[in-house]
Structure 1
Amino acid sequence: MTMPEQDTKATRALQELENSSSSVRLQAALAVGTAPDPRFIDTLIERCAVEPDFFVRDMLTWALTRHPSSMTVPKLVDELGSERAQARSQALHTLSKIGDRRAWPAITRALLTDADDEVARSAWRAAVVLVPEGEEPELAGVLATQFGRGELETRLSLSRALIALGEVIMPILRAAMTDSDPRVRQHAIATERLLRDPDAGFEFAIEEAKRVVALGATGQEE
């Protein structure tokens, strides 16, 4: 295939990223990722911030991972300061998929405690992938400030992030299991149950934790 033909195909694919049909946008993102070109990066990142379809967003992320991280990571880090929540959450999600630890300094406490649940959840997932060896306890301490936050899905995301850090979370878990806030205690107990038994369902763990809290125990004796 000649260069003019490649350029024509690339131009068409980039235009189709804005098509009203999600299936067309999905195919366009696939095409861009199949033939990566640094000229695509800015458009892919811009599209991530506004794309309404989950599957298309995931394909956009895949397309970005196909480009050199030396080119994508600095641009994605810039997106973390966006006022648009989706831009922040999708940039964090993409950074977690790329896995380049040079992005770690950009995973700030502000992002880990972002008021938007999707941004915070994406930050938690990115943080446990990118955290340098030895900094896990400090990260766990920040994550623990989010115990009791949000609905079931958000709480499960936090528990999974903490569990991914391993045994370093135990002192923090024990402290949270005696917190004055019952929602914090419930969430910490459920996380500890899930750490001990990864096959246990989170909903079951939460219900069991509620029972433990209602009985006035921490669950550590059981």
Structure 2
Amino acid sequence: MVPINTSPDSSTTRLLEALGAANSSVRLQAALAAGTNADPGLITALMARCAIEPDFFVRDMLTWALTRLPAEITVPVLREELRSECAQARSQALHTLSKIGDKAVWPSITRSLLYDTDDEVARSAWRAAVVLVPEGQEAGLAADLATRLGRGERAVQLSLSRALVALGEVIEPVLRSAAADADPAVRAHARATERLLHDPEAAFDPGAEEAKRIVALGPERAGDAAC
């Protein structure tokens, strides 16, 4: 990591103190100031705060501040953070890497991140993956993401569907396969994702749509149609 200046001036000292203030508005202003000043010596403090910051808006400003620093400084530190034991640190690093958009980072977007047991890490990984995937590797990513269909509550499922839809028509084969899965949650999620692919304004409620389908077809016919 790039160390903070061991002899910071008084303004830097005040900024570092403000990043840890109890008031979220003060922390937000501190993150804004850090991004405005774009001092590489602040990277350690910014990264450390990302891992523990509870406020969404402050975290987003911290990400912006990091993107203002030279990528040759931030990217190696962010890649290292992907191996952190702290879920929020991993999630924020993924989010920031997606904003920087350096496709050389792609090898660091591992399956372990795409399949992370922490929902926020996984969602950040899905979003980062569709931004960073190299041209020609979209189908492989779609296949990896499709293995997560049926996971989690509505918000998690919607994040995955949006990530898949961002890959475009390359996802159609994996959705067709998932729509015939033995697990009804996977089938419902696959069909909801297909609706979003063809109509981005469509309502997203896999459970409700599957229930309507079963009522319309009858339990036996709905099961047959999935095979």
TM-score normalised per structure 1? 0.92
Larger deviation: 119-128 or 34-43?
A: 34-43
Alpha carbons of structure 1 residues 219 and 161: separation in structure 2 relative to 1, 3 Å: farther
- Tell me the amino acid that sits aligned with residue 168 of structure 2: G
Which whole-Å CA distance do the structure 2 matches of 1:71 and 1:218 have between them?
56
Residue number in structure 1 paired with 2:110: 108
Please state whether the residue corresponding to 1:149 is helix, strand or coil: coil
- The aligned length equals 214
Among candidates 137, 149, 155, match of residue 153 of structure 1:
155
Instruction: Rate the CA distance shift 1:213–1:112 in 2: closer, same or farther, 3 A.
Output: farther
Match of 1:209 in 2: 210
1:3 corresponds to which residue?
none
What amino acid is aligned across from residue 41 of structure 1 in structure 2?
I
Counterparts of 1:166 and 1:197, CA distance in 2? 12
Q: Which amino acid aligns with 1:195?
A: L
Partner of 2:34: 32
Distance in 2 between residues matched to 1:33 and 1:136, nearest whole Å: 33
Alpha-carbon distance between aligned partners in 1 of 2:33 and 2:127, rounded to the nearest angstrom = 27
Cα deviation per residue 1:82-133 (whole Å; 9 max; x = unaligned)? 1110000011011111111121110000000000000000000000000000
After superposing on structure 2, the runs of 4+ consecutive aligned residues of structure 1 that deviate more than 4 Å are 217-220
Residue 125 of structure 2 corresponds to residue 123 of structure 1: yes
Q: For residue 10 of structure 1, report the CA deviation from its aligned partner.
A: 2.2
- Name structure 2 gaps, 5 residues minimum: 1-7
TM superposition score normalised by structure 2: 0.90
- How far, CA to CA, are the matches of 1:8 and 1:78 in structure 2? 30
Secondary structure at the aligned position of 1:147 is classed as coil
**Structure 2 contact 185–207 (Cα < 8 Å) conserved:** no
Shift of 1:15: 1.6
2:22 and 2:32 map into 1 onto residues whose CA distance is 16
TM alignment of 1:22-101, pairs within 5 A = 22-101=24-103
Taking only the aligned residue pairs, the percentage that are identical comes to 64
CA RMSD of aligned residues (A): 1.7
Q: Distance in 1 between matches of 2:146 and 2:61?
A: 32
CA drift at 1:12: 1.1
Whole-angstrom CA distance in 2 between matches of 1:195 and 1:207: 18
TM-fit CA distance, 1:207: 2.1
User: What's the counterpart of residue 13 of structure 1?
Assistant: 15
